[in-house]
Structure 1
Amino acid sequence: MSFNLAGDPILSARFTLRVFEAHQLVFEMDFDGPVELGRQRSGEARPYHRSHQGEVTRVVVAPLAQTEVSRQHVRLEPAADGALACTNISRSASIVAPGGLTLAPGESQEVEPPLLLTLGDRVVRVEREREDQQFEGLGAKTQAPGSDSAEPEKLRDLIENATGGTDAQDLVAWLRGVMGVFQSAASQPDFLNQAVTAAASIADLDATSIVEWTGGDWRVAAGHVKADSTHAWRPSRRMLDRVREGGMTFRSQPGAQLSETGVTRAEVAAIVAAPILNAQGEVVAALYGEKRRGGLPEGYAISELDAMLVELLASSVAAGLARLQQEKVAVAAQVQLEQFFTPELARTLAAQPGLLEAKDIEISVLFSDLCSFSATTERAGGPTTLEWLHEVMSLLADCVLEEQGVLVDFQGDGMMAMWGAPAEQPDHAQRACQAAVNILRRLPELSAKWEPSIKCPTQVGIGINSGAARVGNIGSRQKFKYGALGNVVNIGARVQQATRRMGVDLLVTEATARLVSGVFECRPLGQTRLNNISQEILLHELPAEPDGPWRDSTRAYAESLSLCQQGDLHRAAASLTQALSARPHDQPTLMLLSRVIEAIRGGGGGFEHVWDLSRKPA
């Protein structure tokens, strides 16, 4: 008896594409040629319809009404050395993906998978086909996948039954065939076809199939009939029902009443069927096979050894189905985590979910907000604003993830990020400040690109605070949202709001400034009273590019603030006026001078040492 799978239809796709909607896997396909993703055309079937245009496979990933996705949006194609060629085939929309990938219409770039794309309200993930994985100890399992009650004597029983005309070489060939299916189940989506082909070869069966129990009925999922067979056939319903009811392998012998299989009674000799179980031990399918009479009066019997081999193959299929389901759940979970965390941290959290449990820890939070967003929306219109906002938010998110931060939330034109959890980061404040500085350094290039369209520069205000917080899932059972709660978060949000009042791009609290002393230069701006915060907060400006004039202004500002605290307002005013001659657009100096002049006009006793930002400006 030989075992040969040459010519079997083994899937050769090099990449797997998955589409997620609201963190749920809604579409999956494998491909090894060009794929085009786009919005539904008029008259075209709804998502996720597939069509073939020459060698290109087109997939509809968005309905007709979702106009932010182009009808032809992106083309994906395998490239050399396992890379993936990503081409923007949209006429108007840019493509921005985590990791710094930005493609203008018509541009193409080779990337290393995995690739994560956001198309409207859907997330597309493309990754390389999984490599074969080795399994240990599966050769003796005949019960539910993962069951602790697997029969350790099964393989020994099988070997003891290999007597008589069966030699050791035949047995080794059989077992190699079984292990081939185990290996296929770990890595190939079409392992059902390989399993039925292997069953026919190993147990010398004329017809084999995997039949699923679904919707209260049996449905053939994969089948194999010997090339020399001229008979149409269908599995025996009586045998399948017996397997489902008994939860064990059954076989029939020559002479049994089997005419309802669809092959004449004179042709069928014997049949065998083994249950395929899910993790709960329920029969979800069966591996079915039959032997024909081949002209013999009684035909060929199915031996106990044959039945045990079929049962062993059924166990491999059960393990494969369980593995594929686990992979789908794991990928969906990882895609969800990658919306908040870096891919590396997402993989760690998927493997160690305990890291996401609620705990108290020292963190740094960053809040950002786009300036003049409402006015820009009104002026530029919805489609342009949406594309601009997407590119800005992608830049902010990239800067956060590059510093191993957590994307907690996006709300309109605002973002919240966090460092220090779920994995501890002793340098959380430094990472938060570096991410903020990177944002401010990269923003001018984006601003120059978009200013002709939106008719104004792109600016953000950023606030950072550090301290103890309670971190964990602050969402619900229905929607995961990893974040933090506590006063440190409330203060951080108010600090961001203060950037507009104080005329600077980036403010940090005294708590953060202490943690980054010696790494970043900061300018103390004075004690402030923030909206709905009872304690006074000392705020610092953190510039993206500190230079000589800024340092001169910082010294002058500190001297003037000290004079104000001593009550010498006239000298403070003179010092501030001189500083403004060197940097006339320094907003903190201008605002401090305004407060000093107002106090002088009031008689000199009205200078407020605490800058009250909780009151709306007059």
Structure 2
Amino acid sequence: MMPLKFELFRADGTSDVWTAEPPINVGRQDPSCGEPAMGLFDRNPCGPRLIVAAAINRDVPRYFFSVSAADDSQIRIHNLHPQCELVPTAGDAVPCKGSRSFGGAVELMIRERTTLRISTGRPTSDSSNLYRTLNSQPLDPMTISMQVGDDLATHAPDTGQGQEIVHLLQQVLPVIRESVTTDSFFRAAAFAAVRIAKLNRCIVRLFEGDQFEDRAEVFEDSTADESTSRLRRSAPDVSDTMIDRVRKRGLTQIFDTASPGALEGASLANLSQAVAAPILDKERRVVGVLYGDRWTDLSMRPFSDIEAKLVEILAGAVSAGMARQSEERQRTSMQVYFSDRVAKHIVVDESLLDAKETDVSVMFCDVRKFSSISKSLGPKGTVSFMQDVFTVLSECVERTDGVLINYIGDELIAMWGAPDSQPDHAYRSLTTAVSMFAGIEEIRTRWAEKVCEPIRVGIGVNSGTAAVGNTGSRIKFQYGVFGNVVNVASRLQSATKQFGVDCLVSSNTLAKTDNSFHTRNLATISVVGIPEDIVVHQLVTESSERWQRLSSLYEAALEDYHAMRFADAIQTLGQVLRDNPGDEPSMRLLGLSVEQMRHPSENFSPVDSLTQK
């Protein structure tokens, strides 16, 4: 009996070759018998073995099938498994516990994108010996632009023709890259393949389950209008076998009737040459093929590996174009919530959107006296006004790579620290608050003639651990944040009205920043629905000598108030109000101090209880 040749082809382009006499059992490693992770083994009690997968690859049955020879030209395959069909790259499957004979050569699917070709080495009466595989790894669609030069250097000969092809490809690839904003890059790739590989025809075919769609078809004699092509009338059918081999192997396939000895023993109609290269998605799954063929002047030289590699590179360019289109669509949808920089990170790593607990800073920003403003502007004017306000405020959030969580009525909610890790999220939140006040100055100027009320916003900022992720539903995505940190930020925004200031920041947030912000310790407060007391600080945009004096005297009075030195607090606050008669926090603390002087509390607490949400 003539030995059989076994060739194992893997998705990464590597392969192994063994020669063994049948019968032989093929399957996954059986460690209990001392088998190696790969290769031939003759000490298994079941007989000679070919191990094609390590023990950890449990998707391959341990004792999958046996190979025997019916005669010198026939290979007999017996499927040993009771549940798994054995699928050839061409033709019908070998059923569970069933057998089939193949003439001269057969290629079987071992696992996803891994095949085993078994051959007798004799000429066959079928077309098996007309196929060959370009055993190199197709380009990664996410990095094709960086890999093209290396691949060409490996495959292109240092000849005039080789360098001419490289030069031509370098001219074509930028055209494909530039056209990815539309579907025209499919046609650009097909046109380039016809021109570079001297094809009669090239097709870009994409798969959708069991269905497919040809996104481009270009003929050599009519690259502008296929309806005028004379080659179209003589074109052979597209080879389903070629395409099926690509889908199963994930590697470029070549069908070549012009190779020396290729037609020995073959009887085929409509002889042609063809090449099919995989189009991959970013997970490297085969989602389409770039298929090219030629059927005129078949006395020409055989299909060279450099030509096949060029087609493969162009297929990679299509893959890259599709990946960029997908990223752009995802980024456009993500930009509703995230800055462009953060959206790009999410497109690359969608796990950033998974629900998780993380340290964040949350901001609530509310437009003051909105009811009065909307009444004076009317419905249409109010919409225009709020669009202007929210645009300015949102741009401030985006400049610090924050997340726009939501707009609710006249309120904006934003967050920093997720989905992308931002260790300086507290600093970003306060930087944003300062820039918002500058933006509101621009709004005042634009709307001065239409809005009589002073345009102001109230901002509350808090930091801490929160749950972030998709807080919407399976029907409508909504990236959001849950937790006490959110409730506190909301209460601080509301408390700005009671203290008469524009921005309140919790001590949690301020402790995570440097000393570059201008703040004063305003109070320790308790708010409805929050069990813990909160130390709050007022944030202002500028620090003059007058502000520094005000802040210093106020904090001294606050310390006296906490120590129950109410007379001292009243005296100090009197100094503050003589210089700053409109300072509402000082008036509030003065009122509390006077009340304690008149009606001392038996169980005094310096915590300022706010009864409004």
Please indicate the TM-score interval, normalised by the length of the shorter structure. 0.5 to 0.7
Taking the aligned partners of 2:353 and 2:213, their CA distance within structure 1 comes to: 42
* Change over 3 Å in CA distance of 1:203–1:467 after alignment to 2: closer
Match in the other structure for 2:578: 581
Taking the aligned partners of 1:171 and 1:559, their CA distance within structure 2 comes to: 82
Match in the other structure for 1:221: 216
Counterpart residue identity of residue 367, structure 1: F
* Change over 3 Å in CA distance of 1:235–1:348 after alignment to 2: farther
Counterpart residue identity of residue 323, structure 1: A
1:208 Cα deviation from its structure 2 partner: 2.6
Taking the aligned partners of 1:192 and 1:419, their CA distance within structure 2 comes to: 40
Aligned partner of 1:286 among 288, 291, 297 = 291
Match in the other structure for 2:410: 413
Match in the other structure for 2:276: 275
Q: Name the count of aligned residue pairs.
A: 443
1:306 Cα deviation from its structure 2 partner: 3.8
Q: Deviations over 1:65-94 (max 9, x none)?
A: xxxxxxxxxxxxxxxxxxxxxxxxxxxxxx
Match in the other structure for 2:491: 494
Q: How does 1:149-548 map to 2 (within 5 A)?
A: 169-170=160-161, 173=164, 177=168, 185-189=176-180, 190-201=184-195, 207-210=200-203, 212=205, 219=214, 221-226=216-221, 231=230, 233-234=232-233, 236=235, 238-241=237-240, 243-244=242-243, 249-250=254-255, 271-279=272-280, 280-281=285-286, 284=289, 286-291=291-296, 300-301=297-298, 303=300, 305-306=302-303, 311-348=308-345, 350-351=347-348, 360-422=357-419, 425-471=422-468, 474=471, 484-516=481-513, 518-548=515-545
Taking the aligned partners of 1:396 and 1:517, their CA distance within structure 2 comes to: 24
SS of corresponding position for 2:582:
coil
Preserved CA contact (<8 Å) 2:221 2:229: no
Preserved CA contact (<8 Å) 1:508 1:542: yes
1:513 Cα deviation from its structure 2 partner: 3.7
Counterpart residue identity of residue 438, structure 2: R
Match in the other structure for 2:609: 612
Counterpart residue identity of residue 397, structure 1: S
1:438 Cα deviation from its structure 2 partner: 2.4
Match in the other structure for 2:77: none
Taking the aligned partners of 1:480 and 1:184, their CA distance within structure 2 comes to: 36
1:398 Cα deviation from its structure 2 partner: 3.0
Taking the aligned partners of 1:586 and 1:556, their CA distance within structure 2 comes to: 12
* Change over 3 Å in CA distance of 1:606–1:555 after alignment to 2: farther
Taking the aligned partners of 1:348 and 1:283, their CA distance within structure 2 comes to: 26
1:329 Cα deviation from its structure 2 partner: 1.9
Preserved CA contact (<8 Å) 1:272 1:307: no
Counterpart residue identity of residue 203, structure 2: I
Match in the other structure for 1:260: none
Which runs of 5 or more structure 1 residues have no equivalent in the other structure? 1-138, 148-153, 254-267, 292-299
Preserved CA contact (<8 Å) 2:221 2:231: no
* Change over 3 Å in CA distance of 1:288–1:235 after alignment to 2: farther
Preserved CA contact (<8 Å) 1:599 1:606: no
SS of corresponding position for 2:449:
helix
SS of corresponding position for 2:383:
helix
Taking the aligned partners of 2:309 and 2:468, their CA distance within structure 1 comes to: 47
* Change over 3 Å in CA distance of 1:246–1:497 after alignment to 2: same
SS of corresponding position for 2:318:
helix
- Identical counterparts, % of pairs: 27
Taking the aligned partners of 1:558 and 1:282, their CA distance within structure 2 comes to: 67
Q: Deviations over 1:244-268 (max 9, x none)?
A: 5665555679xxxxxxxxxxxxxx9
Deviates more, 1:500-509 or 1:537-546: 537-546
Q: Deviations over 1:474-515 (max 9, x none)?
A: 555666655544333322221111111111101112333444
Counterpart residue identity of residue 208, structure 1: R
Taking the aligned partners of 1:517 and 1:146, their CA distance within structure 2 comes to: 44
1:278 Cα deviation from its structure 2 partner: 3.5
* Change over 3 Å in CA distance of 1:232–1:503 after alignment to 2: same
Taking the aligned partners of 2:139 and 2:330, their CA distance within structure 1 comes to: 21
TM-score if structure 2 supplies the norm length? Answer: 0.59
Counterpart residue identity of residue 276, structure 2: P
Taking the aligned partners of 1:397 and 1:534, their CA distance within structure 2 comes to: 32
* Change over 3 Å in CA distance of 1:306–1:410 after alignment to 2: same
Taking the aligned partners of 1:424 and 1:562, their CA distance within structure 2 comes to: 37
Taking the aligned partners of 2:513 and 2:213, their CA distance within structure 1 comes to: 66
TM-score if structure 1 supplies the norm length? Answer: 0.59
Q: Deviations over 1:437-460 (max 9, x none)?
A: 222234223212213223322211
Preserved CA contact (<8 Å) 1:472 1:482: yes
Counterpart residue identity of residue 371, structure 1: R
Deviates more, 1:602-611 or 1:590-599: 602-611
Match in the other structure for 2:5: none
Taking the aligned partners of 2:212 and 2:517, their CA distance within structure 1 comes to: 69
SS of corresponding position for 2:581:
coil
SS of corresponding position for 1:369:
strand
Taking the aligned partners of 1:603 and 1:246, their CA distance within structure 2 comes to: 90
Taking the aligned partners of 1:318 and 1:200, their CA distance within structure 2 comes to: 13
1:186 Cα deviation from its structure 2 partner: 4.6
Preserved CA contact (<8 Å) 1:563 1:569: yes
Counterpart residue identity of residue 286, structure 1: Y
Taking the aligned partners of 1:416 and 1:463, their CA distance within structure 2 comes to: 10
Q: Highest CA radius of gyration, 1 or 2?
A: 2
Counterpart residue identity of residue 607, structure 2: V
Deviates more, 1:552-561 or 1:459-468: 552-561
Which runs of 5 or more structure 2 residues have no equivalent in the other structure? 1-132, 142-150, 247-252, 259-268
* Change over 3 Å in CA distance of 1:233–1:409 after alignment to 2: same
SS of corresponding position for 1:226:
coil
Q: Deviations over 1:516-570 (max 9, x none)?
A: 4743343222221112001111222222223344344434434544554565656
Taking the aligned partners of 1:384 and 1:237, their CA distance within structure 2 comes to: 66
* Change over 3 Å in CA distance of 1:540–1:252 after alignment to 2: same
* Change over 3 Å in CA distance of 1:327–1:425 after alignment to 2: closer
Taking the aligned partners of 2:364 and 2:474, their CA distance within structure 1 comes to: 25
Preserved CA contact (<8 Å) 1:235 1:288: no
Taking the aligned partners of 2:314 and 2:381, their CA distance within structure 1 comes to: 51
Match in the other structure for 2:46: none
Q: How does 1:53-64 map to 2 (within 5 A)?
A: none
Taking the aligned partners of 1:384 and 1:351, their CA distance within structure 2 comes to: 41
